[in-house]
Copies of this chain bind each other. A is one copy, B any other.
Amino acid sequence: MAITIKDIAKRANVSTATVSRVINGIGGYGSDTRNRVLAAAQELGYYKNETATSLVTNKTKTIGIIIPNVSTSFYGNIVTGIEDVAYDFGYSVILTHAGVEGNRLFDSLKLMVNRRVDGIIIVSIYLNKEQQQMIRKLGVPTILLSTISEGNRLPYIKVDDYAASYHATQYLVNQGHQKIGLAGVNQNDQVAGQPRLAGYRDCLEKNQILRDEALIFFGDFSFDAGKRAMDYYMTHELPTALVCASDDTALGIISMAHQYKILVPEQLSVIGYDDTSVAWMTTPPLTTIAQPFYEMGALGCKRLIESVTTNQEIRSEIIPFELMERQTVLQRSNNPKS
């Protein structure tokens, strides 16, 4: 079977305790024994059994990620961020996706606890009161990324969706738009949908632009939602600018606009949300609200590990968004004031 510290101990003529010490660099041994042990380990091709270590130290140096699905580049960046800092701190990352609707969430949590992860990161899954309480009862440090829990009892890191949506809308207003639509947000979604809807509405109101509910088309943040939205606008009332729920939705809009021979941005300005890689790779490149996914993952992981090691509670943080001005919004100079 695999080499153990016993084998090393034998070969180096020391006790297993000493082997353990030098392997962990604890100190308390002569430099010659140190060398003997290291040499023996080397020669035998020793790999430490971390599961044994975990059992006695009651730490796994592992953090668990629960994510709706990993397929979007969106999540990929978050995971990369997490993994990078985990790596720096000597932690491993165990990943599970909880299904689109967050079913499997319970299973995922159970898995994490069974594996005795030191901390849990939950990405983009809204937690209701029951789930929130269950998680707190687990006693495992947990942080939410790009989502919140009912009552906000669990620490989170996310962008201010309300402010971002407001900002996007205001940007459009500043370019002279009066007829501004909102496409693709899910109004049942407390995390992103509702705040963005509110930000959009409040901005229009503040700018004394009359509210036109017909300019709002709800959806599920998808590409297809964008396509359906555009269909809808064509048969109802076409805005001059559109705040979209996501980059995917924005691209759906653009795709359909193309079919209807509506020029973007000349006839229709479009602003996305997320700044996924599609945003800058598409032609014309998409003006969008950038969420710092990588940073979110990295910061979240950092905070979590800090909490694991210091036992301090994690404080929620709002992380800044950024408007990426590209080419799907008509610039003011060319824009006919309505």
Contact = CB atoms under 8 A, between A and B. Distances in A.
Copies of this chain, whole number: 2
A95 interface: yes
Nearest to A71: B76
Interface in A282-324: 282-285, 294
Interface stretch (A8-16, A33-41, A110-118, A168-176): A110-118
A79 B73 contact: no
A184 to B, nearest CB: 13
A48 interface: yes
A278 B172 CA distance: 26
Nearest to A259: B283
Given A47-B113, A114-B49, A248-B281, A94 B96 contact: no
Contacts of A280: 223
A203 interface: no
B95 A83 contact: yes
Interface of A: 1, 45, 47-52, 54-55, 58, 60, 62, 69-73, 75-77, 79-80, 83-84, 87, 92-97, 104, 110-111, 113-116, 137, 223, 248, 251-252, 254-255, 258, 277-278, 280-285, 294
Given A50-B115, A251-B283, 9 more contacts: A50-B116, A51-B115, A52-B55, A70-B76, A70-B77, A92-B111, A248-B281, A255-B281, A283-B283
